[in-house]
């Protein structure tokens, strides 16, 4: 099994086997802790070989620098089926999150496990926002 995509983003959908991502990001900022993100998505695309056909348990979790799990572990059962004549097949998974909370500033990791085995992870920076020194216009970031 190969992880082709593991991303945190503003939104994601799986439309007929096509994984759509909107607004991939690597961090969030807030003036004070704890920090709550109202909504976001984890987009996952995995490629399975023909010998990996069948049922698998996928888990996604957030961990802090000390490997403590933050929030609930999100579990999903998937069934991998190969199209005839193919050596591998992609499987998409979208995890939609609402009001995920981080107790303090720092770097967290989003971990992907399949059948209890670690497969991939990405960092998520949760930072303290800096005060803006001027008012920006509507078209400025």
Indicate the pLDDT class of residue 137, thresholds 50, 70 and 90. Answer: low
pTM above 0.85, yes or no: yes
pLDDT at 141 over 50: no
Per residue in 115-130, pLDDT tens? 999 999 999 999 999 8
- Report yes or no on 138 lying in a domain: no
Which of 39, 46, 35 is closest to 9 using CA atoms? 39
- Report yes or no on 135 lying in a domain: no
Contact 12, 57 (CB under 8 A): no
Helix (H) or strand (E) holding 32: none
Range of the domain at 109: 2-128
Residue 50: phi, psi to the nearest 5? -60, -30
Strands 106-114 and 88-102: unpaired
Indicate the pLDDT class of residue 131, thresholds 50, 70 and 90. Answer: confident
pLDDT at 26: 97
Q: Residue 126 class from Cβ within 10 Å (0-12 exposed, 13-18 middle, 19+ buried)? A: buried
Q: What is the mean pLDDT of residues 35-42?
A: 96
| 5, 93, 38, 31 alpha-carbon torsion, rounded to 10° | -20
Q: What is the CATH number of the domain that holds 83?
A: 2.60.40.3880
pLDDT at 140: 46
Domain count, the chain: 1
Q: What is the mean pLDDT of residues 75-83?
A: 95
């Amino acid at each position: 099994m190969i992880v082709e995509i593991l991303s945190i983003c503003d939104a994601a959908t799986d439309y007929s086997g096509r994984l759509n991502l909107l607004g991939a990001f690597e961090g969030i900022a807030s003036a004070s802790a704890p920090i709550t993100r109202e909504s976001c998505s984890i987009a996952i695309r995995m490629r399975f070989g023909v010998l990996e056909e069948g049922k698998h348990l996928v888990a996604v979790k957030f961990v802090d620098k000390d490997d403590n799990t933050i929030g609930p572990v999100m579990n999903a059962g998937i069934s991998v089926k190969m199209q005839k004549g193919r050596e591998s097949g992609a499987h998409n998974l979208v995890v939609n999150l609402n009001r995920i909370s981080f107790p303090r500033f720092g770097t967290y990791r989003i971990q992907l496990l399949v059948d209890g085995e670690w497969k991939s992870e990405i960092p998520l920076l949760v930072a303290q926002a800096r005060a803006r020194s001027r008012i920006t216009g509507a078209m400025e970031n």
